[in-house]
Every structure is written in structure tokens, then in C-alpha cells.
């Protein structure tokens, strides 16, 4: 049997190229080599206190988008976190293997609590994330760079649990990063591309005109005396490597090296290639959303694959604890 791999993504609104390159693209590639468990982290999304109607819509839209991007529900388990109650059950258990001090070090809590308030769910978010991973004995967790701190904490929490029960009952995971793990904001390349930074993203549902506007505004400033790429230019090259063919990459690299690169031409190429990449995905996404029954069936089938494995881990953890 293949090695297990697990990852989740929150249903918090339309995905962007950062989410795709930093996470989902790998999910698609890895589903063929691993026994993959991919879930929509709807319990985690509660930490942003979304309006119920928005959460409901975002859940189903994310499911459709994941399938449109190439996640094959036959190859992996694709499900909603809240359909597998063992996530919260193990989350409770692991509350007792994490300290306030450890949680206090999480930079994401500091950022997000400014936005959403100091809710306990937001604070203990990484404990539930640890449960998500440990439930499936996952050795590998593909995520973007901003999740590395949570992953390191998950490893500590799991070690603490195992040391308490005196046995390696839960498996310690490792993060899996690719070189495109961090896509920067188009309008401010010192920050990561994020839906919470206005003007920073290209959304997977953007039409060609919106893609054009975003790219034309992308920051390229560079020091004329430097031979290195500025962060904005490096970010555009990262997009080029991912969405254009290798000949184009060589062509623009060559121009950059010679000092003859015209940013407007690089941007035109990106507008064309990114729009061409998005068009068929958007078409599939729209047709999937028209058939909610099939989407619901996909999620139910996914939960059916996940539950027995999650149940087995919970039994093991409870037994080890003396429950
Ligand atoms: P956002 O910052 O837009 O709210 P999320 O925090 O919901 O995005 O991230 C969802 C997934 O996408 C995570 O695995 C995260 O690591 C990845 N991700 C988000 N933004 C980027 C980015 N700019 N570059 C690479 N990966 C990203
Ligand atoms: N915290 C992750 C994010 O914001 C989502 C997530 C929840 C996750 N549980 C997980 C990722 C388990 C990997 C593994 O993107």
C-alpha cells in the first residue's frame, strides 16, 4: 500500500494562484503516488465566524473547484472535515498535549486575531490541525510556506502525546514544500499573495480582463545597478515558470540576463498564458456546480473512505490513554 498523505484547505472564498501553486497543484500531482486524504476544513473555517449562508456556499464551491483543478475523487479521499467527527474528538484529546506557550508563538494567531477577535477556536486552531493530520497516520503534509509553523507545532504535539502514553501511537508528519511554495502579492511583493491583501491576487475565477488589470499593475521596480531580479520580477518569473512553456522561460531569462527585458512583454505573455490556463478550469467548475447532487455524492463517498481509518486511530489513542 502507498504511504499516506493528508492536507486540508479552508472554505473561505475563491482560490487564487497562490493557493494553487502553493498547495493544490501538489495535491493533484501527489494523489497518484500516495494514499491521499484531502479535506475541506470547514470546522477550521468557523474560526473566521462566517455567515452561515456564505460558509455553505463556499464549501460546495471549493469542492467543485478542487475537482475542476484535477483532484480525482476516485484516486483519493476528498471530503468535508465536519463529516468525520473523529477530527474534533482527537482535537479534544490533543488539547492536553499542547501548552498555551506553544500556541502563543503562532504568528498566524496574532495576525488573524486582529481581524476576527481573540476567540478560543482561533487560538487552538493548530491543535485541530494536528488532529487532522494524526488521524490518518500521515507521514507527509503538502502545504504552502505559511503553514510550516503549524506543521512544526503538530510534530511537537504528537511527540508530547506519544511520550505521555509511552508509545509511538501517533505518527509524526513532515511538511512537503515545492519551490513555488510562496507566491508574492502582485501589488506588494514583500507580502504573500493573499485574499486578505487587496489587489494582491489573481483569482482562479478571474476573467481575462481582470487577469490583465492585475498583471499590468504588478510591481516590477528594480535597482538599475543590480543584476539580481527584484522581488516583483522574481515573482513574475515564478508565474512564467508555472504557466508558460520552457522555451518562453528561456527567452525571457535570456533577455533579463542581457538587460533587454521589457516588463510589458513579459506581462503580455503571462496574461495570455494564465488566462488560457484558467479558461478550461472555469468551464469545468461551472458545469460541476450545476450538479450539486453529484458533488454531494463525491463528498459522502470521500467521508466513507476517511471514517474507518479515523475511527481506528481514535480507538488506538483512547486505549493508549486508558479510556
Ligand atoms: P489566504 O492567505 O489567501 O487566506 P489561505 O490561508 O486560505 O490563503 O491558504 C490556503 C492554502 O494555500 C494554504 O496551504 C497556504 O499555505 C496556501 N497559500 C496561500 N497563499 C499562498 C501564497 N501566496 N503562496 C503559496 N501558497 C499559498
Ligand atoms: N491551516 C490550513 C490552512 O489555513 C488548513 C488545514 C487545516 C490543514 N487542517 C490541515 C492543512 C491539515 C494541512 C493539514 O491552509
Instruction: Identify the CATH number of the domain in which residue 51 sits.
Output: 3.40.50.620
Atom of ligand 2 nearest to the CA of 129: 9
Same domain, 141 and 199: no
Same domain, 217 and 174: no
Same domain, 161 and 310: yes
Q: How many CB atoms lie within 10 A of CB 242?
A: 18
Report the candidate in 303, 284, 315, 296 with the shortest Cα–Cα distance to residue 38.
303
Same domain, 42 and 165: yes
- pTM of the shown model: 0.95
Q: Average model confidence (pLDDT) for the chain?
A: 95
Among the listed residues 75, 195, 229, 318, the single catalytic one is: 195
Instruction: Identify the CATH number of the domain in which residue 204 sits.
Output: 1.10.240.10
Range of the domain at 227: 184-286
Q: For residue 174, list its beta bridge partners.
A: 140
Strand-strand pairing, 4-9 and 174-176: unpaired
Q: Measure the CA–CA gap between 92 and 128, rounded to whole angstroms.
A: 8
pLDDT at 225: 65
Give the tens place of pLDDT for each residue, 239-282: 999 999 999 999 999 999 999 999 999 999 999 999 999 999 99
Give the tens place of pLDDT for each residue, 188-200: 999 999 998 989 9
Would you say the C-alpha torsion 255, 260, 261, 262 has a positive or negative sign? Answer: negative
Same domain, 13 and 137: yes
Same domain, 176 and 264: no
Same domain, 166 and 177: yes
Among the listed residues 74, 179, 192, 305, the single catalytic one is: 192
pLDDT at 202: 97
Among 4, 10, 146, say which to mutate for ligand 2: greatest number of ligand atoms within 8 Å of CB. Answer: 10
Task: Calculate how far, in angstroms, residue 164's C-alpha sits from the geometric centre of ligand 1.
Answer: 33
CB 40 within 8 A of CB 63: yes
Sites in the chain below the pLDDT cut of 50: none
Same domain, 62 and 91: yes
State yes or no: is 192 an active-site residue. Answer: yes
Ligand nearest to the CA of 147: 1
Task: Calculate how far, in angstroms, residue 2's C-alpha sits from the geometric centre of ligand 2.
Answer: 22
Same domain, 279 and 248: yes
Same domain, 23 and 163: yes
Give the tens place of pLDDT for each residue, 123-147: 999 999 999 999 999 989 988 888 9
29 CB-near residues (< 8 Å, 6+ apart): none
Task: Calculate how far, in angstroms, residue 194's C-alpha sits from the geometric centre of ligand 1.
Answer: 7
Atom of ligand 2 nearest to the CA of 44: 7
Same domain, 243 and 165: no
pLDDT at 177: 80
Report the candidate in 231, 230, 201 with the shortest Cα–Cα distance to residue 217.
201
Same domain, 204 and 316: no
pLDDT at 224: 65
Polymer length of the chain: 323
- Give the three cell numbers for residue 208: 481575462
Number of structural domains, the chain? 2
Q: Measure the CA–CA gap between 291 and 303, rounded to whole angstroms.
A: 19
Amino acid at each position: 500500500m502507498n504511504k499516506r498523505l493528508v492536507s486540508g484547505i479552508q472554505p473561505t472564498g475563491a482560490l487564487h494562484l497562490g493557493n494553487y501553486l502553493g498547495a493544490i497543484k501538489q495535491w493533484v500531482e501527489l494523489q497518484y503516488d500516495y494514499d491521499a486524504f484531502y479535506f475541506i476544513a470547514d470546522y477550521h473555517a468557523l474560526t473566521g465566524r462566517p455567515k452561515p449562508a456564505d460558509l455553505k456556499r463556499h464549501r460546495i464551491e471549493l469542492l467543485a473547484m478542487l475537482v475542476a483543478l484535477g483532484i480525482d475523487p476516485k484516486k483519493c479521499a476528498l471530503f468535508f472535515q465536519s463529516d468525520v467527527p473523529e477530527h474534533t474528538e482527537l482535537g479534544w484529546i490533543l488539547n492536553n498535549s499542547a501548552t498555551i506557550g506553544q500556541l502563543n508563538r503562532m504568528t498566524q494567531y496574532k495576525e488573524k486575531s486582529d481581524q476576527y477577535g481573540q476567540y478560543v477556536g482561533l487560538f487552538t486552531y493548530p491543535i485541530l490541525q494536528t488532529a487532522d493530520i494524526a488521524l490518518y497516520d500521515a507521514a507527509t503534509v503538502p502545504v504552502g510556506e505559511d503553514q510550516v509553523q503549524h506543521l512544526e507545532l503538530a510534530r511537537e504535539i504528537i511527540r508530547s502525546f506519544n511520550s505521555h502514553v509511552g508509545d509511538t501511537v501517533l505518527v509524526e508528519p513532515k511538511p512537503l514544500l515545492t519551490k513555488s511554495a510562496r507566491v508574492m502579492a502582485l501589488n506588494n511583493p514583500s507580502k504573500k499573495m493573499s485574499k486578505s491583501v487587496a489587489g494582491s491576487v489573481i483569482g482562479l475565477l478571474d476573467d481575462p480582463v481582470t487577469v490583465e488589470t492585475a498583471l499590468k499593475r504588478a510591481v516590477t521596480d528594480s535597482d538599475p545597478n543590480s543584476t539580481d531580479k527584484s522581488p516583483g520580477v522574481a515573482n513574475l518569473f515564478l508565474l512564467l515558470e508555472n504557466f508558460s512553456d520552457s522555451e518562453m522561460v528561456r527567452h525571457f531569462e535570456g533577455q533579463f540576463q542581457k538587460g533587454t527585458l521589457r516588463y510589458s512583454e513579459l506581462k503580455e505573455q503571462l496574461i495570455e498564458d494564465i488566462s488560457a490556463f484558467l479558461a478550461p478550469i472555469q468551464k469545468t467548475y461551472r458545469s460541476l456546480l450545476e450538479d450539486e447532487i453529484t458533488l454531494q455524492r463525491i463528498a459522502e463517498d470521500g467521508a466513507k473512505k476517511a471514517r474507518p481509518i479515523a475511527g481506528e486511530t481514535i480507538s488506538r489513542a483512547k486505549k493508549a490513554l486508558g479510556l
